[in-house]
Amino acid sequence: MSDAIKSAGQSLINGSTGKNTDVPALVAAIVNARVAGLNAVNSAKQKTSTSQLTAVGSLKSVMSLLQSSLAALSDGTALSAVTAKADGKGLTATAGKGATTGSYAIQVTNIATSQSITSGAFGAKDALGTGTLKLSVGGSDVSIKIDSSNNTLSGIAAAINSAAGNPGVSATVITGTDGAHLVLHSSTTGVANGISLEVTPTGSDDNTGLLKLNVSSSTSTVDPSDPSKTVAPYTTIETSANWKQTAAGKDALLTVAGTEVSSPSNSVTSAIAGLSINLSSESVGTTQTLSITSDTTAQQTSIKAFVTAYNNFVGMAASLTSFDKSQPKGSQGGPLLGDSMMNTVKNALATLIAKGVPTAAGETKGMANLGSIGIELKQDGTLKIDDTALNAALTNKPGTVNALFNSSTGLGAEMNKTLTTFLKKDGLLDARTTSINKDLDNIKVQGTKLDAFATQLTNSYNAQFTALNTLMAHMSSNASYLTALFGGANSAGALAGNKG
């Protein structure tokens, strides 16, 4: 019997002997005795379900990371990674998706340049009139209003630089011994990106020279040093303009494996699939070799990321299903120990990780698994990489490595599909989460019902014991009155002298 119940019993005895009964304490003790066990069961259920919900969330997290580590392996991106290197100067290359191994002879005749033009001289503070400037580069243009607030050369430069929709032209003013010059520079390389400026003055007069800013760019192939010869296309401006070209816009020109290639940019992406060739200087008459080789370092990194992610899953699964008899009873098992969902996931992935696939064509015929490429499956279910063996497999047996991860029947692709099935909306983990949340909702409802039941008991017992307390007090008062009249064990009552 609990101390609270003993105290309550003593309270009743006190009431019967004329002492006040502590009704609240008595009621609290009785109600607690009725509902404590039920509350304990409900709290234990809530603790278990909450722990399971957290466990499923943790499991889902490591499984999602495992799937992410597989993405580049199962779609072939990681295992087809290549690296590009040129043996000369002024040429680099970056390999991307779609690039394949190979070696290419490259000559760079021109690098792409952008056009710069400089106007004739003006007075630095001269007002050049008002009107509209239509600035064009390639197929883009913008109209800029020139009025009395910005019609000096510096004002026009500022208006060009701040114009919304500027097609890629920067403007500066350079002041020399002959006056101030407006300099325009195209930020875009290539022969097609010459600068044109069309002036429309306000009214019919242009007394101050705004029309002198008219200029139109075109393309020429005439060799400036020998008009009888032709050269690669470059930008030029009409000779009658009040401008001079200080730098011509040109396309990059190069030969790749004997094929002529042109590009408006020094980042050439059209020559070799999956490869960006970056030019910084010309090498006329000099042939460079661009080599594209398998990037085994990047491939190893991707495989190691997968192994780490899989080992994290195995470790998490082991923790969630562990049993430690040294712990207190009720805390010995992991939150998903014996859970059918957990067992389904563990068994499915463990089966796939041990899966074998046929070796690639051209390689030793047989079956290959992770062990064939230097990845050992340990007794505890984790994976261990032999770096030397893995590197050898990537170098000498790339087809087999690819088959293991990238084939539609390989473990990489199948594991990705299996994880998708488990992790998708309304999949196995989603269904388990929904089920646990329903359990928690039911536990909450049960807790509310228990609170209501406790309140009902408290009110009922309060009423009963308050009435009992009142009755006992009344009986005690009556007993005192009778004792006063007739006497008791230790006293004579007021009527004692009338005894016959």
- pLDDT 10s digits, 450-483: 788 778 888 887 787 777 767 766 666 655 655 6
**Length of the chain, please?**
500
Least confident of 17-21, 35-39, 344-348, 357-361: 17-21
Distance CA 491, CA 500 (A): 18
366-to-111, 359, 361, 402, 413 alpha-carbon distances in Å: 52, 6, 10, 15, 20
Tell me: pLDDT of 243 over 60. yes
Tell me: pLDDT of 163 over 60. yes
What 3-state class would DSSP assign to 374?
coil
Question: Element (H or E) spanning 7, and its range?
Answer: helix 3-16
Average pLDDT of span 261-269: 95
Where are the extended beta strands (E) located within 312-422?
A: 357-358, 367-368, 375-377, 383-385
401 neighbors 371 (Cβ within 8 angstroms):
no
| CA dihedral sign, ordered 95, 100, 105, 109 | negative
Average pLDDT of span 419-440: 90
Report residue 172 as tokens: 């500066």
DSSP designation for 211? G
**pLDDT score recorded for residue 480:** 61
Tell me: pLDDT of 491 over 80. no
**pLDDT score recorded for residue 303:** 93
Taking residue 405's Cβ as centre, other Cβ atoms within 10 Å add up to 27
Average pLDDT of span 315-336: 82
What 3-state class would DSSP assign to 307?
helix
* Res. 387 pLDDT band, cuts 50 70 90: very high
Distance CA 417, CA 431 (A): 18
Taking residue 6's Cβ as centre, other Cβ atoms within 10 Å add up to 11
Tell me: pLDDT of 147 over 80. yes
Among residues 196, 131, 140, the alpha carbon closest in space to that of 164 is found at 140
Mean pLDDT of the chain: 85
Tell me: pLDDT of 112 over 50. yes
Distance CA 393, CA 349 (A): 24
Report residue 160 as tokens: 């060009």
278 neighbors 111 (Cβ within 8 angstroms):
no
b/e map 276-296, b = 16+ CB within 10 Å: bbbbeebbeeeebebebebbb
